[in-house]
Amino acid sequence: MDTTKKQSWIQYADGYLSKTPVWQYILVSLIFPMWGMAASLNDILITQFKTVFTLSDTATAFVQSAFYGGYFLIALPASYIIRKTTYKSAIMIGLMFFILGCGLFFPASHMATYGMFLAAIFVIAIGLSFLETSCDTYVTMMGPKESANKRINISQTLIPFGDAAGIILGKYLIFGGHENMAAEVAGMSAAQKAAYNKEVLLLTLQPYKYILLILLVLLILMAITKMPLSKATVKNEDAVAEKKTSLGESLNYLFHNYRFMNQSGRNSFTLGFKRVSGPSRFGLLYGLFLASPITLPRTTW
């Protein structure tokens, strides 16, 4: 981590490295489970908000719409920023937005307004869009070209661990002591229900406190660590100039891509999972380790 030491890798003209810098690769890979954790907590928040704010299924869908809407709106701008700056800069921007979004849960829980929570979730999604767009491509470039697929596959195996961690944090920190909120509020007076709702909303802060600490550590480590550029530095002047894809062309391609529109639509309007008890919960956790729910397409620029 001492930036005064000579780097142990050589970067080739195409952006790939002669060897994988182990610490740098581990540091970037540790970010992968963070977006899985955020997605799992969204599903738990849906159940929480539905009871506290007395929302319909349609209204609770805005949680996922705010989350994946942030992905949709920011992915292309994030790619543009990566082009103009570095992967490290984009990752740090993503971490800062993620931290800001988590921090917004503190005023949101005291203001007790659904819109404020949606704003916090949207800001988190902006950060995650930067992180996914940059980290996915970065780890593939962080070493020899022939092992690029192996590196991205290893990093992405950490995402389901984040999914499971989000569910565990939600169960014991958000739902702890409130196994059946709908039954608990039944028969309460207006004053009792208001006090109960305030208590429940304050519980939403608990997992985000731990996430904030982890993100701050990751941000500091990223800031002080010398990271490889991993971007093409030399262009062959004799080669035919590659046509750059415009923003309009990119959007047109995405809108006509069936797989993209199908998956994005499903993710945007998912109403969340219903909490289960007994063996089914273990089945859910097992399923998370088999495949990650975050399957939005990733673009390599």
How many angstroms from the chain centroid is the CA of residue 92?
A: 14
Burial tier of 47 (Cβ tally within 10 Å: 0-12, 13-18, 19+): buried
pLDDT at 185: 66
pLDDT at 221: 97
The domain 22-233+245-290: what is its CATH number? 1.20.1250.20
Tens-place pLDDT, residues 61-86: 888 888 888 888 888 888 889 989 99
- The string of pLDDT tens digits covering residues 105-116 is 989 888 878 888
CB 125 within 8 A of CB 70: yes
The domain ranges of the chain are 22-233+245-290
Report mean pLDDT in 10-residue bins for the chain, 301 residues.
Answer: 64 91 96 92 82 77 84 86 93 96 89 87 94 94 93 95 91 71 68 77 86 96 94 58 59 63 52 37 41 38 34
Residue 38 is encoded by which pair of tokens? 């955020």
Confidence at residue 63, expressed as pLDDT on a 0 to 100 scale: 84
Taking alpha carbons only, the member of 53, 48, 46 closest to residue 194 is 53
